[in-house]
């Protein structure tokens, strides 16, 4: 098996055929993840075939390699939400200015980023039309029309679409883009209790997209008043962590809107619990609403967490191909008959795996060397590579290489599918466990303010008892900007941004660390602490 471990340059014929391609693009990632994360991220996405930069800033092309991951997220999440009778639908991307601006707090949050259509062909439009930045104000006038009785509740709609937020900050693929794909669920309920139950159920599934599909741990919690969704009652979130930069990242948010929008849009029913004799005004029940969204950002988070210096590392459950088979050990001396036999053997392996439900690709391109193919599929992050050569055929085995660890092992052809599936499950679990360990080791409980910024600079997120005041959050951010230890030699590029509150985790420190009401103080301002809040530099 001559090709094993080799990272050969493209074979002669491959080189000749791809003469037009500059060498620099054929080879792998040229930056270390730890050395220049931003450049690494850009390279791993483009060379890993996930994404292409577009000629309009802040817009990107999702190539099949990333869009396929999104399709898997869609399939999984659709099954979940359909199980609680959420229905998919489609609302227009356009919203008139008067409808968009109906809810003041809400629009304030989005107004600076709204893209406006003012012209069609050569005709100036009489009224300018916005492209939805999110669909609350698009949908709720119709909820008011459709919901006429408590028997029309709950109303649970979802759409998979794209929204536009014309940010002027530095764009970043998947994380901050001017157009992005997401789902947005919008539901209406008869009671706060029903609404809240759903908010948490959805959050659980969002965390599930991360943990079960993408092998990423998150911390679930509630956003502070300062960070919650504009116009809503409260926001729940699952927060991830990027070890390389030590920054937190919002995973997805599930909002309880309360009755704020229903009052604004007059979404009202007769209270089913109203009885003759109750005050007349008690008859009117404004519905309780939720909205919740998960975007293609998940793909960016996955890339940042699992990727390494060889390229992407894609968790098996979302990988387009879970296994790639590469024919090896073919030389100039190999007869046509031997070659044919080997390729048949590979076809058989592919069929066996495919029939067992494993997504497999046999890379039988004859113009590339095995070494080139190894690099190529490592760059693209396929979880398992199987090598198969004449000697393997004799021994009735394949040779496997894990993308995540590089660990190699022979696997007998007998019972292959089962063993490969076990290997894929192990990889999925190991990816999660490693990410979990990295997260856990970087959650630091801070009880004295002077420990805060140093801990932050050490790439941690911080659990700090907090007073829950917005001004104090502003102070935390201001005071944690830059480095306290400017003389420190390492990592000149440490982010200078201040820490934001990421969430108030549902799972609060217990035992000795537990908040004692009236006694535990907020280290930043000295007021009584209400609970631990998770702080961090963030995306």
Chain residues in the site for a second copy (CB under 8 A): 17-18, 20-21, 52, 54-56, 59-64, 67-68, 70-71, 87-96, 99, 111-123, 128-129, 131, 141-142, 145-146, 148-149, 151, 157, 161-162, 164, 166, 168, 178-179, 181, 270, 365, 367
Nearest to a second copy of 244, 354 (CB atom): 354
Tokens standing for residue 150: 């408590």
Q: Is 264 exposed, middle or buried (0-12, 13-18, 19+ CB in 10 A)?
A: buried
Instruction: HSE, CB side, 13 Å, CA atoms: give it for residue 387.
Output: 26
Q: Which residues lie closer than 8 Å to 383 by C-beta, 6 or more apart?
A: 313, 314, 315, 316, 319, 322, 323, 402, 403, 404, 424, 427
Nearest to a second copy of 77, 532 (CB atom): 77
Query: How far is Cα 186 from Cα 197, in angstroms, rounded to an integer?
Result: 14
Nearest to a second copy of 162, 421 (CB atom): 162
In the complex, minimum distance from the CB of residue 367 to a second copy, in angstroms, rounded to a whole number: 6
Nearest to a second copy of 19, 492 (CB atom): 19
- End-to-end alpha carbon distance in the chain: 45
Nearest to a second copy of 120, 332 (CB atom): 120
State how far Cα 79 lies from the chain centre.
Answer: 18
Query: How far is Cα 133 from Cα 507, in angstroms, rounded to an integer?
Result: 32
Residues 476/456, Cβ–Cβ less than 8 Å: no
In the complex, minimum distance from the CB of residue 139 to a second copy, in angstroms, rounded to a whole number: 8
In the complex, minimum distance from the CB of residue 252 to a second copy, in angstroms, rounded to a whole number: 19
Nearest to a second copy of 9, 26 (CB atom): 26
Nearest to a second copy of 56, 492 (CB atom): 56
In the complex, minimum distance from the CB of residue 51 to a second copy, in angstroms, rounded to a whole number: 10
Token pair 């759409």 is at which residue?
A: 159
Nearest to a second copy of 146, 506 (CB atom): 146
Nearest 10 degrees: Cα torsion 331, 333, 338, 344 = 20
Nearest to a second copy of 71, 105 (CB atom): 71
In the complex, minimum distance from the CB of residue 539 to a second copy, in angstroms, rounded to a whole number: 21
DSSP 327-370: E----TT--HHHHHHHHHHHHHHHHHHHHTT--EEE---TTS-H
Nearest to a second copy of 181, 502 (CB atom): 181
Token pair 């997220």 is at which residue?
A: 73
In the complex, minimum distance from the CB of residue 292 to a second copy, in angstroms, rounded to a whole number: 17
Residues 163/133, Cβ–Cβ less than 8 Å: yes
In the complex, minimum distance from the CB of residue 485 to a second copy, in angstroms, rounded to a whole number: 39
Query: How far is Cα 70 from Cα 60, in angstroms, rounded to an integer?
Result: 15
State how far Cα 22 lies from the chain centre.
Answer: 32
Query: How far is Cα 375 from Cα 28, in angstroms, rounded to an integer?
Result: 7
In the complex, minimum distance from the CB of residue 141 to a second copy, in angstroms, rounded to a whole number: 7
In the complex, minimum distance from the CB of residue 319 to a second copy, in angstroms, rounded to a whole number: 14
SS3 of 521, please?
A: strand
Residues 3/374, Cβ–Cβ less than 8 Å: yes
Nearest to a second copy of 276, 486 (CB atom): 276
Nearest to a second copy of 93, 494 (CB atom): 93
Burial 430-444, CB ≥16 within 10 A → b, else e:
ebbebbbebbeebbb
In the complex, minimum distance from the CB of residue 236 to a second copy, in angstroms, rounded to a whole number: 25
Range list of H helices, 389-450:
390-395, 416-440
Ramachandran quadrant class, 348 (left: phi over 0; alpha: psi -120 to 50; beta: rest): alpha
**H or E segment to which residue 528 belongs:** none
In the complex, minimum distance from the CB of residue 167 to a second copy, in angstroms, rounded to a whole number: 9
Query: How far is Cα 171 from Cα 53, in angstroms, rounded to an integer?
Result: 11
Handedness of CA 355, 358, 359, 361 (dihedral sign): negative
In the complex, minimum distance from the CB of residue 238 to a second copy, in angstroms, rounded to a whole number: 24
Query: How far is Cα 256 from Cα 203, in angstroms, rounded to an integer?
Result: 11
In the complex, minimum distance from the CB of residue 16 to a second copy, in angstroms, rounded to a whole number: 10
Nearest to a second copy of 365, 493 (CB atom): 365
């Amino acid at each position: 098996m001559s090709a094993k471990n080799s990272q050969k340059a493209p074979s002669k014929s491959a080189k000749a055929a791809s003469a037009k391609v500059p060498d620099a693009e054929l080879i792998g990632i040229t930056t270390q993840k730890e050395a220049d994360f931003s450049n690494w991220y850009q390279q791993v996405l483009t060379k890993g075939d996930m994404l292409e930069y577009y000629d309009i800033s802040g817009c990107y092309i999702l190539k099949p390699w990333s869009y396929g991951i999104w399709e898997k997220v869609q399939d999984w999440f659709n099954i979940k939400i359909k199980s609680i009778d959420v229905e998919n639908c489609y609302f227009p991307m356009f919203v008139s200015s008067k409808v968009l601006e109906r809810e003041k707090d809400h629009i304030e949050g989005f107004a600076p980023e709204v893209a406006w259509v003012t012209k069609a062909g050569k005709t100036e439009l009489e009224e300018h039309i916005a492209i939805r930045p999110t669909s609350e104000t698009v949908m709720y006038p119709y909820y008011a029309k459709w919901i006429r009785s408590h028997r029309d509740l709950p109303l649970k709609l979802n759409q998979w679409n794209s929204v536009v937020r014309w940010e002027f900050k530095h764009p970043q693929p998947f994380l901050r883009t001017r157009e992005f794909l997401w789902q947005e669920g919008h539901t209406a309920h008869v009671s706060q209790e029903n609404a809240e139950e759903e908010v948490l159920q959805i959050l659980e599934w969002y965390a599930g997209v991360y943990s079960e599909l993408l092998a990423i741990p998150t911390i679930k919690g509630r956003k502070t008043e300062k960070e919650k969704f504009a116009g809503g009652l409260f926001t729940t979130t699952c927060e991830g962590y990027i070890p390389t930069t030590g920054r937190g990242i919002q995973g997805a948010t599930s909002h309880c809107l309360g009755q704020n929008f229903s009052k604004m849009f007059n979404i009202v029913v007769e209270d089913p619990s109203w009885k003759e004799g109750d005050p007349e005004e008690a008859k009117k029940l404004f519905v309780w609403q939720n909205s919740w969204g998960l975007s293609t950002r998940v793909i960016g988070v996955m890339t940042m967490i699992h990727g390494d210096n060889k390229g992407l590392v894609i968790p098996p459950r979302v990988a387009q191909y879970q296994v790639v088979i590469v024919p090896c050990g073919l030389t100039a001396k190999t007869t046509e008959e031997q070659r044919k036999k080997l390729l048949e053997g590979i076809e058989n392996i592919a069929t066996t795996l495919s029939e067992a439900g494993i997504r497999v690709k046999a890379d039988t391109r004859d113009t590339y060397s095995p070494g080139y193919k190894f690099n190529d599929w490592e760059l693209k992050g396929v979880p398992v590579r199987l090598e198969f050569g004449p000697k393997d055929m004799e021994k009735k085995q394949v040779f496997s290489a894990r993308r995540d660890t590089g660990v190699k092992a022979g696997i007998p052809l007998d019972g292959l599918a089962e063993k490969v599936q076990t290997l894929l499950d192990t990889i999925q679990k190991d990816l999660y466990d490693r990410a979990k360990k990295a997260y856990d080791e970087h959650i630091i409980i801070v009880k004295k303010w002077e420990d805060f910024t140093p801990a932050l600079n050490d790439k941690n997120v911080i659990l700090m008892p907090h007073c829950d005041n917005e001004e104090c959050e502003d102070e935390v951010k201001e005071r944690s900007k830059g480095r306290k230890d400017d003389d420190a030699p390492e990592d000149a590029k440490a982010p200078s941004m201040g820490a934001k509150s990421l969430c108030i985790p549902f799972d609060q420190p217990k035992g000795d660390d537990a908040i004692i009401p009236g006694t535990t103080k907020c280290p930043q301002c000295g007021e009584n602490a209400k609970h631990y809040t998770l702080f961090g530099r963030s995306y």
